[in-house]
Amino acid sequence: MLDSPQTPLVSVRDLKMHFPIHAGLLRRRVGEVKAVDGVSFDVMEGETLGLVGESGCGKSTCGRAVLRLYDITSGEITIDGAEIGDTSQSKLRKMRPTMQMVFQDPQASLNPRMTVEAIIKEPLDEHTKLSESEKREKVGELMDAVGLNRQFAKRYPQAFSGGQRQRIGIARALALNPKFIVCDEPIAALDVSIQAQVVNLLEDLQEQLGLTYLFISHDLSMVRHIATRVAVMYLGKIVELAPREELYAEPLHPYTRALLSAVPEPDPSLATSNERIVLQGDVPSPANPPEGCNFCTRCPSVMDICKTVEPEYFEVAPGRFTACHLYQNTNDTAD
């Protein structure tokens, strides 16, 4: 399925999302948090692009910005042929059915005063002209599709467990037959034994409905399972993007290497034999990123050039992108 020439469903170019910092008595603008700072990627039709990184790296902001839940600072976003980077929110509203979102916290993203039926039905109320009985039938179908018992339609979210609540959130996202779904840490709040249930459900739905996912997660092992390609973010930028197997087998960027080596593996023999790259220090503040490469303050293979010149994000091998001076040099000489 990967061999056929693919068309991108979602195309993001140089996306920037900067949040202003106001301070002082007059709330003057004193700076900005560069949450997403020039990110470019494509999401192919029917694939799952995993977006990984640590907290504060901007992965969730990126996911929300792609759906224009924010008014972005700059950049181009094309979803299903339509350029939405600077479309007004009122025009966007008509396009919302194609793009949906599943949120991290199934506790906070469902209105506790609405029944499950009302929650799943809400997008149908807003965007379709179906009759009440048609809507109810559709809600029933959606509940079947995500593995919820139809009899529970009149219950409130608090009557459900975390995994079931996440299913409600997925059903709501599916209500308008979207093409593209941003899943923002959909399993982070769930127990291990429940995570697998939700991930399998997402995979089944993708296969049945031909969905395209942007799967945001900090769980590198789960992303290896679900993603077709993986993008790694650090401090507002994508440092590496590659097909799944290549990224996990042979990570290029020093940050990706450190990140992968830090994942604890459930195998005591690996734990003792594998030499861990333990990064020193913490992630710098995105309000005040270092000069040059964002990773230069913690990078084990830092060079002089990294502290002054920002590395360019480029295709180092077919399908493999990275932003690191280690590879820039080899590329220059090869040209």
Partner 1 sequence: MPDGALPVLDVRDLKTVFKTRSGEVHAVNDVSFSLRPGELLGVVGESGSGKSVTMMSLLGLLPSPPADVRNGSVMFDDKDLLNVDAETLRKVRGGKIGFVFQDPMTSLNPVFTVGVQIMEPLRKHMGMSKKQAAARSQELLELVGIPDAKRRLGDYPHQFSGGMRQRVMIAIALACDPQVLIADEPTTALDVTIQAQILELMKELRTKLGMAVIWITHDLGVIAGIADRVMVMYGGQVVEHAPVANLFNDPQHPYTRALLKTIPTIHGERAARLTVIEGQPPIMTAPPASCPFRDRCDVAFDRCENENPQRYDLGAGHDAACFYNARTGAPRDA
Interaction site with partner 1 (CB under 8 A) = 54-55, 161, 163, 191-197, 199-200, 203, 218, 220-222, 224-225, 248, 258-271, 276, 278-280, 282
Task: Please state whether beta strands 212-217 and 180-184 pair in parallel, antiparallel, or not at all (unpaired).
Answer: parallel
User: Which residue type does 227 have?
Assistant: A
H helix count then E strand count, the chain: 11, 12
Q: How far is the CB of 198 from partner 1 (least distance, A)?
A: 10
CB of 248 to partner 1, least distance (A): 6
Cα 235-236-242 angle, rounded to 5 deg: 95
C-alpha to C-alpha distance for 192 and 109, rounded to whole angstroms: 21
79 versus 241: smaller Cβ distance to partner 1:
241
- Cβ count near 2 (within 10 Å): 11
Contact 187, 158 (CB under 8 A): no
Q: Which of 186, 175, 91, 84 is nearest to 128 (CA)?
A: 175
Q: Which two tokens stand for residue 107?
A: 């506790």
Cβ closer to partner 1: 9 or 238? 238
CB closer to partner 1, 35 vs 67: 35
Q: How far is the CB of 255 from partner 1 (least distance, A)?
A: 9
Answer whether 183's CB lies under 8 Å from 202's CB. yes
Shortest distance, CB of residue 170 to partner 1, whole angstroms? 16
177 vs 221 by CB, closer to partner 1: 221
Name the minimum Å distance from CB 172 to partner 1.
21
Name the β-bridge partners of 29.
Answer: 22
Query: Minimum distance from CB of 211 to partner 1 (Å)?
Result: 17
Choice between 144 and 265, CB closer to partner 1: 265
Q: Which is nearer to partner 1, 59 or 64 (CB)?
A: 59
